């Protein structure tokens, strides 16, 4: 079933390439090429399909997905530098020693050095950004090329191709909200019929010139370039393999075996037959079909029934073709958000089974606007195809390098195998990249510019968010060092003169050192303050991971010098199942040294809504209290239940400030750039896309607490 569904999601991009590839090599306005040139061109297409989508991606790249089954450039980086597994028990630990551990990337299992992390990260982010840029051009090229078939049968409607294409694109993006599974259920049968039509017409057309089977001799492709010395032909051949990166990026939507079965057994043979048939008809009919090779080689009359059947399925297939890169873009953005390399925009999980099937509204509508603008601005297919190939070729080259590094460092195979992979596939990727680079002034700069903008956002977010998380980790504190409970009530110490290492004694282990208070040691303000316990419940949401009390909790006590009777530090754990039963959602840890403090992990499935039911949580806390003190807990439990209805949610955030760095003679310039990036760009983005954006709690129940983070 998954293999069948892949037809409607993954291969439609590469499956609609027969619509325009041969005209991408030999434009319709030029004379028909010679028989040997046609055989050489089709040979280049067939061997490109065999070496890149089939061998490199389907049988090699799919083995390099993440442990979660995700693929694409960023998944390759995660294989080299896997993120630390989240420790939910540590999130509930508010007291204890060794709380200043900073979250770092765990690379102990690999031999790759940490100093290569940022160069490889930027390289893989470039590949990811260009794949997303490809997601803008794939729908534009595919739909416009299919609708262009109208002009073959009805030349009078040529001027309406662009408006019709835009209407189809609008419809395509508006159905994305129904999710991958539902879309695939509708699209897969259409793609299945489309590939059967390609194979059937290909077999029929081959009978016109059976000599086309000489294309399986790879020397024919080599001789084409030796004879013509026309390197630009490769940029047209490249169009036959566009979409192969979507095969890898979409692995999270399905799985490796389903992709391997469907491509090797069905999609690849259908494509090869289609190209062989087009080549045979071009040899046989020459100038009479060169103007639009695909539509002019459909068996039967120009206005016949089969022509319109193929045309309808071509339009449907190109709509579906756009789906491959749209869903791939959703998958890539999901990976970036989960690893904190992209602003945390809202995601909707659309499957009850597969966590990788997501719909991201903001990305969907951004792609829609970009596609429509591209179609309107470029205005014809020739200009679009010029802009199309460069991003694809660059991503392919990026993937080859990252896989070669993984072969040696992660798979720990001999260096010769890694170098062999890079030399072989890097050579072919480099050929295509060089050919597409020549189209840079003709429009290829557009996807490159889009990719650079996305790369800048990703790199900035990865860097600044990393600094913010590091600040949070360095400033987490033991709750007992901050709050003291004695017979006279609850107090806290804000003295700057105290030193955790040598001044804490057994008597005052519950004191907390707050180094950022702007008070002089020994002043009245630096003395212990008594905190009034108020009969309410506060749910303090922990955004960052790790042990101890977040630095923002200090800001809360400074701004509201009182403690609620029940203080809950809540962290969220999203588990790889669709839904978690309510009885299993809350895991509670009680702080024994300070009454009324609890660490809670709120487990939800990827299809569950964030909806903290305070009554369910309080019942869980009451169970813990009853277990700890079976005899004397009745009054305490009754008190806790009585105040639960006044729960207030506290939303923390950091107000980031750039710190001064010493860069020698360039210090002034470096600090100005650093301040601009952190305070003027990152801070604004963090405000626009808060990590609390998916909360469903009423705004009336939320207190927002901010604190300066000098990063």
| 265 pLDDT higher than 60 | yes
**pLDDT, position 385:** 66
Q: At which residue do the structure tokens 């595919």 appear?
A: 142
| 710 pLDDT higher than 60 | yes
Where residue 699 falls among pLDDT bands split at 50, 70, 90?
A: low
Where residue 691 falls among pLDDT bands split at 50, 70, 90?
A: confident
Q: Which CATH superfamily is domain 2-81+121-465 in?
A: Amino acid/polyamine transporter I (1.20.1740.10)
- Torsion sign (Cα): 289, 291, 294, 296: negative
Where residue 33 falls among pLDDT bands split at 50, 70, 90?
A: very high
Where residue 696 falls among pLDDT bands split at 50, 70, 90?
A: low
**pLDDT, position 695:** 58
Where residue 128 falls among pLDDT bands split at 50, 70, 90?
A: confident
Instruction: Determine the average pLDDT of the residues in 2-24.
Output: 84
Instruction: Determine the average pLDDT of the residues in 32-41.
Output: 93
CA-to-CA separations, 149 to 68, 314, 382, 653, in angstroms, rounded: 42, 9, 14, 55
What region does 300 belong to: left with phi over 0, alpha with psi -120 to 50, or beta? left
Cβ within 8 Å of residue 640, ≥6 positions away: 537, 565, 566, 618, 621, 622, 625
**pLDDT, position 7:** 86
| 252 pLDDT higher than 50 | yes
**Least confident segment among 200-204, 353-357, 682-686:** 353-357
Residues 598, 647: Cα–Cα separation, whole Å: 14
Percent with pLDDT over 70 in the chain: 85
| 514 pLDDT higher than 60 | no
> Average pLDDT of the chain?
81
| 417 pLDDT higher than 90 | yes
DSSP 8-class letter at 549:
B
Q: Please give the residue that has the higher pLDDT: either 353 or 684.
A: 684
**pLDDT, position 100:** 37
**pLDDT, position 499:** 38
Query: Which of 204-208, 330-334, 600-604 ranks highest by mean pLDDT?
Result: 204-208
| 378 pLDDT higher than 90 | no
pLDDT in tens, 477-512: 788 777 776 655 666 655 543 333 333 333 333 333
**pLDDT, position 192:** 93
Between CA 49 and CA 133, with CA 319 as vertex, the angle to 5 degrees is: 65
Tell me, yes or no, if the pTM score tops 0.75.
yes
Cβ within 8 Å of residue 34, ≥6 positions away: none
Q: Any idea where the domains of the chain sit in the sequence?
A: 2-81+121-465, 476-710
**pLDDT, position 285:** 92
Instruction: Determine the average pLDDT of the residues in 155-181.
Output: 78
């Amino acid at each position: 079933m998954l293999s069948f569904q892949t037809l409607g999601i993954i291969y439609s991009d590469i499956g609609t390439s027969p619509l325009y590839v041969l005209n991408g090599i030999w434009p319709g306005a030029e004379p028909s090429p010679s028989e040997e040139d046609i055989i050489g061109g089709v040979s280049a297409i067939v061997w490109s399909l065999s070496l890149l989508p089939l061998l490199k991606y389907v049988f090699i790249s799919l083995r390099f997905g993440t442990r979660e089954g995700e693929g694409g450039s960023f998944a390759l980086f995660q294989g080299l530098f896997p993120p630390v597994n989240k420790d939910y028990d540590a999130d509930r630990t508010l007291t204890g020693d060794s709380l200043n551990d900073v979250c770092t990337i765990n690379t102990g299992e690999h031999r790759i050095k940490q100093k290569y992390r940022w160069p490889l990260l930027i390289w893989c982010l470039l590949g990811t950004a260009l794949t997303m840029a490809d997601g803008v051009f794939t729908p534009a090229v595919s739909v416009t090329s299919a609708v262009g078939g109208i002009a073959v049968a009805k030349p009078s409607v040529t001027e309406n191709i662009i408006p019709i294409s835009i209407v189809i694109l609008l419809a395509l993006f508006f159905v994305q909200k129904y999710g991958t599974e539902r879309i695939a259920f509708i699209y897969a049968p259409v793609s299945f019929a489309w590939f059967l039509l390609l194979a059937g017409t290909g077999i029929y057309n081959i009978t016109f010139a059976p000599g086309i089977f000489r294309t399986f001799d790879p020397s024919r492709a080599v001789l084409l370039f030796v004879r013509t010395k026309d390197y630009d032909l490769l940029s047209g051949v490249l169009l036959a393999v566009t979409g192969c990166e979507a095969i890898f990026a979409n692995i999270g939507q399905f799985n490796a075996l389903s992709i391997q079965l469907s491509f090797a057994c069905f999609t690849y043979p259908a494509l090869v037959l289609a190209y062989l048939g087009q080549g045979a008809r071009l040899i046989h009919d020459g100038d009479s079909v060169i103007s639009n090779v695909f539509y002019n080689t459909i068996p039967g009359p120009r206005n016949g029934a089969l022509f319109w059947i193929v045309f309808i399925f071509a339009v449907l297939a190109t709509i579906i073709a756009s789906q491959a890169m749209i869903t791939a873009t959703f998958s890539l953005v999901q990976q970036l958000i989960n690893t904190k390399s992209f602003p945390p925009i809202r995601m909707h999980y659309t499957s009850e089974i597969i966590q990788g099937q997501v719909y991201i509204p903001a990305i969907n509508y951004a792609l829609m606007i970009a596609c429509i603008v591209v179609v309107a601005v470029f205005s014809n297919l020739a200009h679009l195809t010029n802009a199309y190939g460069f991003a694809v070729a660059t991503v392919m080259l990026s993937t080859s390098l990252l896989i070669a590094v993984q072969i040696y460092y992660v798979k720990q195979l001999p260096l010769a195998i890694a170098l062999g992979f890079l030399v072989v596939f890097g050579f072919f990727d480099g050929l295509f990249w060089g050919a597409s680079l020549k189209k840079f002034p003709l429009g290829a700069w557009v996807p490159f510019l889009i990719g650079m903008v996305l790369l800048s956002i990703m790199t900035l977010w990865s860097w600044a968010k990393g600094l913010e998380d590091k600040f949070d980790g360095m400033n987490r504190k033991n709750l007992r060092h901050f709050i003291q409970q004695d017979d006279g009530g609850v107090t806290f110490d804000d003295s700057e003169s105290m030193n955790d290492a040598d001044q804490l004694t057994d008597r005052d282990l519950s004191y907390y050192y707050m180094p950022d208070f702007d008070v002089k040691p020994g002043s009245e303000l630096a003395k212990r303050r008594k905190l009034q316990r108020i009969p309410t419940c506060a749910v303090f949401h922990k955004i960052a991971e790790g042990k101890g009390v977040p630095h923002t909790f200090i800001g809360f006590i400074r701004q509201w010098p009182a403690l609620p009777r029940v203080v809950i530090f809540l962290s969220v754990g999203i588990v790889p199942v669709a839904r978690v039963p309510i009885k299993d959602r809350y895991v509670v840890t009680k702080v024994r040294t300070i009454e009324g403090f609890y660490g809670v992990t709120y487990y939800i499935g990827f299809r569950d809504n964030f909806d903290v039911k305070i009554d369910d949580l309080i019942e869980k806390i009451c169970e813990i209290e009853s277990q700890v003190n079976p005899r004397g807990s009745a009054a305490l439990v009754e008190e806790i239940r009585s105040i639960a209805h006044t729960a207030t949610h506290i939303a923390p955030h950091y107000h980031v400030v750039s710190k001064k760095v010493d860069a020698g003679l360039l210090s002034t310039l470096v600090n100005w750039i650093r301040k601009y990036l952190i305070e003027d760009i990152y801070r604004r983005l963090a405000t626009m896309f808060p990590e609390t954006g998916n909360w469903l709690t009423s705004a009336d129940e939320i207190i927002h607490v901010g604190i300066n983070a000098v990063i």
